[in-house]
Structure formats: C-alpha cells, structure tokens
Amino acid sequence: MQSQRPYTLVARFYDELHGDAQRMNRFARNKVLGKILPSVHSVCDLGCGTGTTALELAHRGLKMYAVDLSPTMCRLARQKARRAGLPVRVICSDMRAFRLPEPVDLVICEFNPLNHLPRRADLIRVARSVWRALQPGGYFYFDLNTRRSLQELYPSTHWFEKRSFCMVLHGGYDRRRRKGWLNLEWFLPTGRVWRRHHEHMEDVWWTDQEIRRTLRRAGFSHLRAWDGAKVRPPSPHSHPGYDTYYLAQKF
Ligand SMILES: C[S@@+](CC[C@H](N)C(=O)[O-])C[C@H]1O[C@@H](n2cnc3c(N)ncnc32)[C@H](O)[C@@H]1O
C-alpha cells in the first residue's frame, strides 16, 4: 500500500467526487458577491483545486490568478484552462506565503481550503498574505467548516464506487487536538490488479470571534458573515451551523 500526500489522488478524481460543490460555490458566490462582482476586474482563486471557479470567472472576462499547494491540482487547473482556451495564471504556492505578480480586486477561497491549515496559528499568516495580495478596497471572500461540522459530520464512513476507482472514506474527530480527520483508502486498477493507496487529511476549525480578531489584526474591516444554510442552494439536507461564509474588505 502506498501513502500519498494530501490532495494527490483526491486531485485526480476531484471533479468526479465534488461535482455538486461547484454548483454550491456558484450559488453562494452569486449571493454574497453579486453586487461586488460587476466592479471587480482581477481575482485570485486561493486553494483553487482543479480551477473550476477560476475558469468560470475567466470566462466572464476577469483577469484570473489561481493558487494551490498541490502540484497535481495545479497541473489539472492549467490543463483545464488550456483546453478551454482561457487565460488563467496558475501558481503553485502555499496560501500562508503566496505572492501575486500584481495586487487584485478580490481573493476567493471556496469550499473550505482554510480548514486544511496545519496549525491554528497559520490563519494570521494567510490573512496577512491575502491582505498583501489585494488592492486597497479589495475583498476577501471565503467559507469555513465550523467545529460542529467537524465534530458531527466527519465521524462517518462512505463508500464510492466509480469506473476508474473505488474509495472508502472514513473520518473522525480528535477532541484533544481539536481536529477533524479523514482517511481515504483508494483502490485503483493497475493492469489486471487493483492497487491500494492511502491518503490522510486533517482539518482545523476557528470560532467566529477568532476569525474576526485575526482579520482585524491583518488590517481588514467591514467583516460580514453568513450561515451556509442562508447562501447555499435550498435543500432539505441543508441545516444551519455547519459552515460559514465570510466577506472582508481591505482598507
Ligand atoms: C476542498 S479543496 C477546494 C478546492 C476549490 N476551491 C473548490 O472549490 O473546489 C481545498 C484545496 O485547498 C488546497 N490547499 C490546502 N492547503 C493549502 C495551502 N496551505 N495553500 C494552498 N492551497 C492549499 C488543496 O490542495 C485543495 O486543492
């Protein structure tokens, strides 16, 4: 069995696994940023994954940068942009220290990349890097899974069976370390045999107070927050308290 760095195999099958997330992202983005987007000319998609959002915004004529730590995600995002003939500049970098060639009007960080930071203290590093990446008056938009989500939704087991892979997702919550964790056991066809691979991920959470304090320390103001259930597409499975969407402005 091979152990993989987080977001290596997930990256390869990300679009197949998370198709619905893109619809959710789009819906929430339009709801929160609807009035702001017409005045935005340049955007950075931070923790861009395979670049779906970056491509959508590039398609609307926005100048796009996309940043991700996973080389596989970056390769796939570049590939998708090239195939679509869209000018997205993909930068393989850590969100705690990334730099853009020029400041942008908006930094977007969708579908909880911030929960993946290894240490709670990393949040201020990201906030400062985002602040540096923005024009004065620019916006930082992101969503986060709450503690409740990590404690109640992560402890579970799911089985995915597709043509190109099988995967067992088993998760839990470590109270002492205040982290949610996910073990992904992949089974991939290789010639006539199925090979097993392992990926492990951990997520941290912050209170609303910690988020507000950290963003203020980094120089943001006008912070607004929405419960996920208010901005995601209406669904009988959508309950309040599991994720939060934030919008902050650099002044
Ligand atoms: C759940 S995915 C979200 C991807 C995309 N934003 C979307 O909406 O589908 C989280 C992404 O964050 C990236 N990521 C995790 N830690 C990161 C870091 N420190 N710096 C940059 N990207 C990171 C992962 O590689 C992954 O692509």
Sorted by where each begins, the domain ranges of the chain are 2-146+207-250, 150-203
| Ligand 1 neighbour 105 (Cβ under 6 A) | no
CATH among 3.40.50.720, 2.20.25.110, 3.40.630.10, 3.10.105.10 for 150-203: 2.20.25.110
- Do the domains spanning 2-146+207-250 and 150-203 agree at the CATH topology level? no
Residue 164 carries which side chain, given as an amino acid letter?
A: S
User: Each residue's pLDDT tens digit in the chain (251 positions)?
Assistant: 677 677 888 999 999 998 889 999 999 999 999 999 999 999 999 999 999 999 999 999 999 999 999 999 999 999 999 999 999 999 999 999 999 999 999 999 999 999 999 998 899 999 999 999 999 999 999 999 999 999 999 999 999 999 899 999 999 999 999 999 999 999 999 888 999 999 999 999 999 999 999 999 999 999 999 999 999 998 888 889 999 999 999 98
Q: Are 42 and 36 in contact (CB under 8 A)?
A: no
Ligand 1 touching residue 21 (CB < 6 A): yes
Nearest-CA residue for ligand 1 atom 25 is 70
Which CATH code, of 2.60.40.10, 3.40.50.300, 3.30.1450.10, 3.40.50.150, is assigned to 2-146+207-250?
Answer: 3.40.50.150
- Residue 192 Cα to ligand 1 middle (Å): 33
| ipTM given for this complex | 0.99
Question: What is the rounded CA–CA span in Å between residue 87 and residue 210?
Answer: 36
Q: What is the pLDDT of residue 3?
A: 73
